[in-house]
Amino acid sequence: MEATVLSAEAITKIIGCKPTLPLTARDMVSSLTVAFYPAANSISESLTRFLDRLKAIFISSGVRVLSYDEALSLGHNDRVGKGIVLIAAGEGEPGNLAIDHVASLADNVVVGVYYGQMPSAGESRFQKRVDALVGALVWHMVHVLIYVDDESWTICNMNGAIDTFSLHQLSERVVDSLIPKVAAPVVPPRQEEFVVRKDSFDPYAAICYESTADIIAGAAIWRESGLLASQTRLNDLSYRNHKYKRIAAAYLSARTGMSYGFLSRQLPGPIRTAIELNHAHPMLRRVDWTEKDFIEIDGELIVVPNVCNRRFLVKVPQVTVICTRSGCDKGNLDPRRDLVTLTLSQGRIILGLAKGVDEDTDCQPSFDTLIILSHAVGNAIVASILNAVRPNSSFALRVEQHGLAIAHWHGFIDATTLPEGYHLHGESNPSVSCSTPQAAVYALGGKLAVFERCIANGQQYLGDAHVEPSHGTNMCGDSIQELAESIHSGELDSRAFLNQSRILSPHLEAL
């Protein structure tokens, strides 16, 4: 992680997540406890060999591997202990699947391993692959899928990541692709985790109108690009029985569908100018900033980023974005039904529903809530420091007067086509999904790191493209519509994530 400007502890404090997250590959290995669920049916020799190799790699890498009986002894009522990852091979029998023996849908990850190719592996359309992926996840009732044939293995997870590797590279790829996906699992956020305010905004009001219009106009262009999956309706999928349909609905907090990517606009707001530490109040100068880089005073969080060996005091601002709700058809938006606001205020998240929205509307927060807000608060912190070191910078003025666009899609940018002033980061991070708190930490840490490099090199800073290896791209810029037009026209070269059609090298070498 490129977090040298602020510590990981300060970043987790800003965005309101646990300070003990495993962030490095080594930490992720150390955090894992794995058990192999007994196969209910006979499995092929090829699959047996794969599982034996997988277990040996886990052990040699430092992962704690338990027998299934040991895993059960740490739980209750024929269920394994919380936090244990279950590796389950073969189809299994309804009523005795691995998911029937976990303590919690949120606290245990189930990895299904099957012989053959992923359904729709040869399909070129992203939407078709996503539909097949979600369908397989709910049929098998697992969080992560692994498909194995005689030459390769493919990892798929709920957030649309699809990685195919040679079996000759099994050891390396278990560490850099599989372990991050199970150590940083996708856990859908729920309304009850946030402060929810109904009738809290009008998407057509003056404060929101520019952002709403930009999202709607951009969504139509994104639809044509094929980089956003429109919607996989959960009622249209096949389930083994009604019980498993209920389990899937509970895990997804009654969402009616799954869609991939997000479109959002950070709303404009005042930016406080950062104060260089040696000009701060004497009380703050007396704090031992060698031990920490944040402090809370009267309920306000103050961070002390180190930019080119200059330390600044920044009062972490409240930020608000207007964005697409979870599971909506992002290529065909109804602003009142499909847009929500998200506010980050001193580590607390507030979900705002539009005025007049129907009580029965599925207005669940985006899987990517935390990373959206991480980018937004990072933009505000960068603008605060820019006000101090480069007064009247166009980026800071844009944040304050118009806000910024923040978009995510399942494709990767050719860095050489980025406009001047935009900067790429994140290529070397562990391959986690953007729905994880780790991704939010990487987003803010990486943004601050590339900003510092801009200051050090005398470059302009206008925005950033945050790469999530094996997953996609988040980009902050002036406009959703302009970004969509740049990609659709080929001016900004972004290729859809078509990993399953070939054997991949790690991370962006796949491009």
Residue ranges, the chain, pLDDT below 70: 1-3, 40, 121-124, 226-227, 229-230, 359-360, 495-511
CB-CB contact of 478 with 405 (8 Å): yes
Query: What pLDDT does 123 receive?
Result: 63
- Contacts of residue 207, defined as CB under 8 A and 6 or more positions apart, other chains included, come to 201, 267, 268
Closest Cα partner for 36 from 17, 16, 57?
57
In SS3 terms, 42-96 reads as: CCCHHHHHHHHHHHHHHHHHCCEEECHHHHHHCCCCCCCCCCCEEEEECCCCCCC
Query: What pLDDT does 489 receive?
Result: 79
Phi-psi label, residue 52: left if phi above 0, alpha if psi -120 to 50, beta otherwise: alpha
**Pairwise CA distance, residues 359 & 361, whole Å:** 6
**Pairwise CA distance, residues 403 & 265, whole Å:** 7
The encoded tokens of residue 485 equal 């037009």
User: What is the residue type of 365?
Assistant: P
Query: What pLDDT does 492 receive?
Result: 80
Domain residue spans of the chain: 8-17+189-510, 25-183
**Pairwise CA distance, residues 146 & 111, whole Å:** 7
Q: Is 97 exposed, middle or buried (0-12, 13-18, 19+ CB in 10 A)?
A: buried
CATH architecture of 8-17+189-510: 3-Layer(aba) Sandwich (3.40)
Residue 36 C-alpha from the chain's centroid: 27
SS3 186: coil
- Residue 87: phi and psi, rounded to 5, are -100, 115
The helix (H) or strand (E) run that includes residue 354 is: strand 348-354
The encoded tokens of residue 355 equal 């005025």
**Pairwise CA distance, residues 293 & 344, whole Å:** 20
**Pairwise CA distance, residues 109 & 183, whole Å:** 9
Q: Is 391 exposed, middle or buried (0-12, 13-18, 19+ CB in 10 A)?
A: exposed
**Pairwise CA distance, residues 64 & 93, whole Å:** 27
**Pairwise CA distance, residues 166 & 153, whole Å:** 6
**Pairwise CA distance, residues 106 & 20, whole Å:** 18
**Pairwise CA distance, residues 24 & 6, whole Å:** 16
Query: What pLDDT does 52 receive?
Result: 96
CB-CB contact of 320 with 211 (8 Å): no
Query: What pLDDT does 495 receive?
Result: 63
CA angle 113/114/119 to nearest 5° reads 120
**Pairwise CA distance, residues 321 & 211, whole Å:** 9
**Pairwise CA distance, residues 360 & 378, whole Å:** 34
Closest Cα partner for 234 from 159, 121, 138?
138
SS3 196: strand
Interhelix angle 394-401/369-389, rounded to 10 degrees, is: 130
Pick the CATH number of 25-183 from 1.10.1040.10, 3.30.2350.10, 3.10.450.50, 3.40.50.2300: 3.40.50.2300
Query: What pLDDT does 449 receive?
Result: 97
Compute CA distances 355 → 138, 205, 254, 430, 450, whole Å: 34, 11, 22, 40, 39
- Contacts of residue 495, defined as CB under 8 A and 6 or more positions apart, other chains included, come to 411, 412, 414, 511
Classify the C-alpha dihedral 208-212-215-217 as positive or negative: negative
Spell 206-240 as b/e; 16+ CB within 10 A means b: eebeebbbbbbebbebbbebbbbbbbbebeebebb
